[in-house]
Amino acid sequence: MGAYDTETDGTAGAARAELVREIDADGAWAEDPVWREAFAKVPRHLFVPYYYVAGRSGYERRWGESPDRAARERWVRGAYEDVPLATRLRDGELLSSSSQPSLMARMLVALRVEDGDRVLEVGAGTGYNAALLAHRLGDDDLVTTIDLEPEITESARQHLAAAGCHPVVVTGDGARGVPERAPFDRIIATCELPTVPRAWVAQCRTGARILTPLATGLLALTVRDAGHAEGRFLPTPAYFVPLRGERRAQPEGVSLAGLPERARDQELFRFLLALTRGTLDPQAAYALWEREDRPGRERYGVTVGGEHARAWLDDPEGPYSWPLP
């Protein structure tokens, strides 16, 4: 970090241990406790030398090189809170963040990484997630992370080096994958996309797993071959910064006026609207949602086949399905 390394080491270590205890209590890695060691060892504060905290009058910038000792203390402790951290802003718009650690833990467990897997991460962010993957796999070369913004990839590369990690960091369009590093056994996206890019499926081995945010949910796909993949959403809600150049899944300007209050305030109904993306108008979506007993995320899935992708409810061959872009 700089002049404050020694000063922050003890505070960071204690705060990191407390974060691990919190995630333990949350049960995030109960199915794969090997991730506990990764979170206990990888120093998150090295990946967020500064970040922004929302306040009443805008964002407060916290940074590790502040001349004020109390400010440095707030920075290092804040780096280990179980919250997402805004790391890049432009004209008040969030461009990049470090995700909530407990959500990262759940996603990494859901990815079902095995020894020797080649992993592609789409959305390099701060580099922290790539460092966790590299620690778990014990081989930096098995991990590739990509982001569109050169500024982001360069800072991620610097953060990783400061933490002693050297996975492959690529600047490019994450929706196109990284064909020169394929084939992959796992792909994980840490940004929101409107659909599942066909390039990802094509760059995976048979049996590979893809985990990606979609329509405020987390979709887990199994690749059948170079052109086909299928899977369901996890129950966990997830809100991520969109992949740069892409729009959010929720159609803008959709009016929920005229619908019952329970629909307007219901997160799972809004998930259905985001997933169907205008294929169903809100009234038709609400009728379906009520008729099918207000289904949770885990009842929905996606099938990718050739040039087409479809979302569905309960059964890919059932009566309810909708095209994705």
Active site (catalytic) residues:
96
Report d(CA 98, CA 264) in Å as an integer.
30
The residue assigned the tokens 């390394």 is: 5
The span from the CA of 111 to the CA of 32, in Å, is: 10
Q: Are 98 and 122 in contact (CB under 8 A)?
A: no
Sheet order of strands, 143-147 included: 168-171, 143-147, 119-122, 184-189, 204-214, 217-225, 228-237, 300-305, 308-313, 321-324
CA distance 325 to 119: 25
Beta bridge partners of 213: 218
CB 208 within 8 A of CB 215: no
- CA Rg value for the chain: 20
- What angle do the packed helices 34-41 and 5-26 form, to 10 degrees? 160
